[in-house]
Amino acid sequence: MARRAEKTSDSRAYLLAVTLRAMPDRATDDDEFRPLPSHYRMCFGCGEEHPTGLHMKVFGSKDRVVGSFLVTEHHQGAPGLAHGGVIAAAVDEAMGFLIYLLAAPAVTVHLEVDYRKPVPVGSVLELETHVEKIDGRKVYAVLTGRADGVVHVEASSIYVKVTVEHFRPHYERQGEKLIRPYNP
């Protein structure tokens, strides 16, 4: 269990190190990974201020996203294991970050998650995703999630591009500023 996280106050730094360490294994010479910012401070997936969120650290290249999060006791379903819904949320979050790379806002319309192995509390789940194809407004993506180098989850999704105005009323209701998509 080399990547099993210890309970420390510095878990965010640990996640950053794990994510950065995972990238060279899968990177090519053409890849240049950059950190992707959280789109909303209270987002369950990537928000740095969500009290029980995933606090996912995410990096993107020209066509891929890698990210990781520490499965904590707040994320369990059965004792000692991550809740399947939390895993699905993490998958959706990582795949959603692909939209930053496309510089086009989009929403999830289909998400299929195949749970290969349970993910224990204390594990760092590393997620890698890329766009499979784009067909008009539809964006098709696939993902593999590993803990300790073993595949625990695989997924596919379809996103539909929308205008940024789709989100405005929701941001304004929360008193937040609407940000534009990020494109490295």
Active site amino acids: 92
* Burial track 126-143 (b if 16+ CB lie within 10 A, e otherwise): bbbbbbeeeeeeebebbb
Q: How many CB atoms lie within 10 A of CB 23?
A: 16
Sort 28 into a burial class: Cβ within 10 Å, 0-12 / 13-18 / 19+. Answer: exposed
In angstroms, rounded to a whole number, what is the distance separating the alpha carbons of residues 20 and 33? Answer: 9
Amino acid (one-letter) located at 37: P
Closest Cα to residue 81, out of 31, 147, 128?
A: 147
R_g of the chain, CA atoms, integer Å: 16
In angstroms, rounded to a whole number, what is the distance separating the alpha carbons of residues 47 and 55? Answer: 6
